[in-house]
Structure 1
Amino acid sequence: MNAQASPSAAFDVQRIRADFPLLSRTVHGKPLVYFDSANTSQKPESVIAAVDTHYREHNANVSRAVHQLGEEATAAYEGARDKLARFIHAGSRDEVVLTSGTTQATNLVAYSHVLPQLKAGDSILTTVMEHHANIVPWQLVAARSGATVKAAPIDERGELIVEKYVELLTPEVKLACVTHVSNVLGTVNPVREIARECRKRGIPLLVDGSQAVPHRRVDVQALGCDFYALTGHKMLGPTGTGALWAKREHLEAMPPFFGGGEMIREVKFSGTTFAAPPHKFEAGTPNIAGFVGLAAAIDYYESVGFTAIEAWEQQLLHYATERLREIPGLRIIGEAAEKEPVISFLLEGAQATDLATLLDLEGVAVRSGHHCAHPLMQFFGVPATLRASLAFYNTREEIDSFVAALLKVRRLLR
């Protein structure tokens, strides 16, 4: 793919789709309509080829050999760190810790940054709309220290009530957390404003960027947060990849979370001297081929351009929302003013899981369930929703097929 799109150029979605092998397959004899990219994105041929080439031509462990293969593998792995640092506008490559994803990244902050300073009476602030990965780690460290976890409220549109969030930034808060984009609602939160309020109070802010990085240009320095977590498999990359960006002063002060090889300078039974950040947080053999693939995914995003991606995805979101509103008895959950292309919904008289199963028979892949967001489901008073999550490789014609399948299923269920 080498189609650098400009804001004025027509978005050649068919050319892009040709780069994604899986999008051409059929399911139950029907053309696949893949609307589950918030769960995991599909992979372009260049990512698949990069992983394949690594195993065929460069496979070796990193940082452990002076032979040619070891040097090639190390250069490719560290090259992925360089690309990630540039991709999110980190101040330095040494601020990027390579992880298995956002879950490992948030747990690293929980146990290495937060737990050592927590005591009874302290608290951690998160929000009602968070993924479990931005709730459960804080609960675990709070339980070990006598601290508490507080959740800022949202409104019926699925928007964070920012003034309430700010009110909860009290002196006992040792860490504030917020998702950049809700994985259920698509809501885009005002991270810069939240970060500004946190800085005024000297409270570090962690941002879950899993659902933001695939859809928009992210500049961690401009956002003003202290920690930013992302997941590779949601941004065209392989599973088991991701990163934690953190301000250098935090990484310097944080003790290691995992122990083992490659995160040390010297080991003696009298004590161990650890490597400098970010390597002191990367014990053991990493997912080398995965990060080679993630580097290729970043190259692919750059070749398409986020200006073009954002514009096309917003067109798809608007069109899908309007088409879904035409269906009698359909309720959209979350209608924030600023959203990414994620739509959660319910259809009157139908269970979410039943709907998803019947839609699958029509070739349509959507996710049903609580989406790792139990507190959010409780807020809206529902056990589950259907979620259609789109990406820049989707089309208006697929939305039409999705709506037609929904109408067919609705007739069957009546």
Structure 2
Amino acid sequence: MKLTVVGGGSTYTPELVDGFARLRDTLPVEELVLVDPAADRLELVGGLARRIFAHQGHPGRVVTTSDLDAAVDGADAVLLQLRVGGQAARQQDETWPLECGCVGQETTGAGGLAKALRTVPVVLDIADRVRRANPDAWIIDFTNPVGIVTRALLQAGHRAVGLCNVAIGLQRKFAGMLGLAPADIHLDHVGLNHLTWETAVRLGGPEGEDVLPRLLAEHGGTIAGDLRLPRPLLDRLGVVPSYYLRYYYAHDEVVDELRTKPSRAAEVAAMERELLTMYGDPTLVEKPALLARRGGAYYSEAAVDLAAALLGGGGNPYQVVNTYNKGTLPFLPDDAVIEVQAAVDSKGAAPLPVPAVDPLYAGLMADVTAYEHLALEAALRGGRDRVFRALLAHPLIGQYAYAETLTDQLVAHNREYLAWA
């Protein structure tokens, strides 16, 4: 089995490699190819990847290259984890929206749109090259904004599934609180990427007993603290929102915070410099503890489960993924990309039935779905007016004066990535 990681020079990659090494019985990788244009980073990450495989007794080989076509040739699955513009572009995404009093974040609001505009054309070019190399290859997208990027891939006819680590992180957290193994926990997880709610926590599987009320009663304070939302709000909702919902439920509070502290991009850039220094140590044979603070926790386990199921090797039959709605949520278009539990096998991901969704959540999902449709139009076809329409539609923006200013800012900060600008 050959797996290719596009963006293999990312500091995330050792997390992924560690999962491949530990879970080799689930996903027997014979060749792991890391491809990245940044040769200096790739050399450091590739060296550590080989040492992790060797240390854990994995028989597969790790190949590094900057040649994308060679990297995807014959690949059974291709994982996308790229960041167009790097942390410098992320720094901009997180700062200029604040000038209008809007959230500055790399996947949500105006910053998320900027990232989508930079990313979608690049990802579609990569996907076309994957399809030419092997039409049967699966594309697993971990590149943000995952919902928009996955919709672009599916709309272009690619064999693609989107992946996020929010659900698997909550699964592990809840299992620990209940004293259970993660495999014993099934989440009723519903929404869009980075806009999700856990509406039930079931024991054993989709039909199991719902213990979410017990979790909230016994651990609601801890859960609320982790989300940085008030405990009474969780009690009133009776569900657990993802931490991204704080941008909506406490927007002004978040903006005030973001204006007075270093950006996450600056923190991550400093962390990456330290990690890359560690990766260059020839005695390092395990992923360092610092990597857990970088983000992407449990990404490797989710990726292994998903790749194994798609490639016919087993794995967890039920997984939270991003895929076409196809009537699962009747208030959204069939071609909307939703993030829900799905049955995954070699044919792809089939969403499980979802109970009726409270209008409190369905309304916000519908609004953001409309924004994502307009965002993808802007990414595919360009034009200042399409950017303005997407910003005006976003629930975190909505006012025409803000949308006008943010459109100018977005174009000015991203001109080198926008062929039409």
TMscore range, shorter length: under 0.3
**What TM-score comes out, normalization by structure 2 length?**
0.26
By relative contact order (CA 8 Å, sep 6+), the higher-ranking structure is 1
- Answer with 1 or 2: which has the greater Rg: 1
**What TM-score comes out, normalization by structure 1 length?**
0.26
